[in-house]
Structure 1
Amino acid sequence: MFTAFCEVSQSCSDPAMDLKRVKDYIYWLYYQYLLISCSYVLEPWEQSMFNTVIITVVGMVVYTAYVFIPIHVRLAFEFFSQMFGSQPESTASLMN
């Protein structure tokens, strides 16, 4: 029944085939990474050290962006909002 429906609609696909495509695509991306970084010429222990350094640097960049970019965006927004005329309310009016 399922195969007959899939033959008629042409919109069904085998889940195992989709998983194989995803797996092949991940392997292709990893192969591209090896070619671009030229790490395919390294020995296995050198590749693991290289990958560790790359992962550490990317992790630090992501963490730094997560922590500091929102602060800088808020400060820039406050600076430009003051520059273009919308003055912040005074604290005295908030207390009354």
Structure 2
Amino acid sequence: MNVRYVKDYFAWLYYQYTIISCCAVLEPWERSMFNTILLTIVGMVVYTAYVFIPIHIRLAWEFFSEIFGDQSTSSVSN
């Protein structure tokens, strides 16, 4: 890939972000505060999902396997 194309694409994505989030009308210090708060919130959500979602999936799996019985073991006798 062309490096200039990738750079232009990321510049276009950042421009879209500033237009959609209305950061284009903010002053530089306001924009940096907004970006810092947004990145902090996104980081906290990603960390929380990384830590707690596997635990909840495991607990749900145990709960439903207890309710419906363990289907993985065969009850056929020889």
In the superposition, the TM-score normalised over structure 1's length comes to: 0.71
Residue in structure 2 matching 1:32, options 16, 25, 37? 16
% same residue = 70
The offset of 1:37, in angstroms, is: 0.3
Identify unmatched segments of 5+ residues in structure 1: 1-14, 88-96
Identify unmatched segments of 5+ residues in structure 2: 72-78
Q: How many angstroms apart in 2 are the aligned matches of 1:70 and 1:85?
A: 21
Q: How many angstroms apart in 2 are the aligned matches of 1:22 and 1:80?
A: 47
Q: More relative contact order in 1 or in 2 (CA 8 Å, sep 6+)? A: 2
Match runs of 1:1-96 below 5 Å: 18-86=2-70
If you compute each CA radius of gyration, which structure gives the higher value, 1 or 2?
1
Q: How many angstroms apart in 2 are the aligned matches of 1:32 and 1:81?
A: 46
Q: In structure 1, what residue type is equivalent to 2:43?
A: G
In the superposition, the TM-score normalised over structure 2's length comes to: 0.87
The offset of 1:86, in angstroms, is: 1.6
RMSD: 1.3
Deviation beyond 2 Å, 4+ runs, structure 1:
none
